[in-house]
Structure 1
């Protein structure tokens, strides 16, 4: 169920920006209000999504993670067994 827009939002802008918005709205056959509202809503959604997607971790954890990623790889026994098994299954040319 869609509700009708009832909240108002007013702002001032430079005359050249207003002209560009009017021109762009005309190109897509929208009113300037619809064009500006849609643009503002889309930008707000992008900004919110970028900030909500970010995961905040303690600095100590992040530093340990970076150190682990920078450390040389070390094969454990399971990885070595898998490599040996793959050597007998995969045909080398």
Structure 2
């Protein structure tokens, strides 16, 4: 089921911008209204998607994370055991 558009959105633009939009709309055989609406909807989706992908964390947390990443790695027993198993497997081949 298609929902008819009923909300209005109006804005002003420079004459040169209007000419370019009209020219582009003509090239794809769309009305300027459809062309501008589609462009605005696509940009809104892109901006919202990018915003949703960004994770905001407190500065203190970020600083602690970077400091932890700068520390040398200290392997635990499970990692050491896995490395020994891998060496045995590789040595057998």
TM-score interval, normalised by the smaller of the two chains? 0.7 to 0.9
Within the alignment, does 1:29 sit opposite 2:34 as a pair? no
Distance 1:20 1:92 in 2: 69
Aligned to 1:15: 15
* TM-score, length-scaled by structure 1: 0.88
Distance 2:23 2:79 in 1: 62
1:71-86 to 2 correspondences below 5 Å: 71-86=71-86
Going from structure 1 to structure 2, the CA distance change for 1:64 and 1:19 (only over 3 Å counts) comes to: same
Distance 1:91 1:9 in 2: 70
Aligned to 2:49: 49
CA drift of 1:6 comes to 0.8
Deviations 1:14-52 (A, max 9, x none): 111111111111111111111100000111111112222
CA drift of 1:84 comes to 0.8
Aligned to 1:66: 66
Q: Unpaired segments of 5 or more residues in structure 1?
A: none
Distance 1:31 1:91 in 2: 70
Q: CA RMSD in A?
A: 1.8
* TM-score, length-scaled by structure 2: 0.88
